[in-house]
Amino acid sequence: MVLGMLVHQSRIRDIDVHIPPELSSSVKQKAGHIPKPNVYLFTSNILQALNNWTENGEVDFKRNIESYKHYLTPSFKVQLLKLYQSKNKKGELSDRIRGVQEIFGHEYDDTRVRSLAANVWRVDLDLKIREYYRGMKIKEVDLAFPVRVVRYDINRQLNPWGMALDGFITLPQRIKKDEPDVANNN
């Protein structure tokens, strides 16, 4: 009896249960399973946060990479830092402000998140990017971002999502205006 009580007390006390945002019908969820809507929401939030530069891209982009490093795999962090260095060297960051948002009409549906392996996903995001240089709009482009996301349950205090962006599956591609939904055309 005492041994059974000791075993019971030594078990893990916290269990992650990811609840999908749509609960209009009942939901049955396994502990530890991450549903597609949660993977999509995580990816969208982190990618937009990384790419929003509110004051100066030269400072903001590097600061964002550092601020969100717990949501990036080490290899993707290195890739982003190389991108930062390349853009900075070309003068593509100084005095630039960037806003990134999901394209209206291109929101989540099940086809935008595909399982590549256990706890590895491809997430297709369509984002509008607007850039300004000293107050003048210099860019407005719609891009499709195919992002690799992995389960990354390393430090719950620093990354409560338990996932990380692991890189771009291919380079982001321009969305043609007559293409209503890139993810569903694949």
Query: Would you list the DSSP string of 106-121?
Result: ----GGGEEEEETTEE
Query: What is the value of pTM for the model shown?
Result: 0.80
**How confident is the model over 9-60, as pLDDT tens digits?**
445 455 454 455 554 445 555 667 899 999 999 999 999 999 999 999 999 9
Domains of the chain plus CATH, in order, are 35-177 (3.10.450.230)
**How confident is the model over 138-149, as pLDDT tens digits?**
999 999 999 999
Vertex 166, ends 171 and 117: CA angle to 5°?
105
| pLDDT at residue 141, rounded to an integer | 97
CA distance 55 to 50: 14
* Distance linking the first and last C-alpha atoms of the chain: 59
Instruction: Look at residue 150 and give its three-state secondary structure.
Output: strand
Please give the radius of gyration of the chain, using alpha carbons only, rounded to the nearest integer.
Answer: 19
Please list, in sequence order, all residues whose beta carbon lies within 8 angstroms of the beta carbon of residue 87, skipping any fewer than 6 positions away: 57, 61, 93
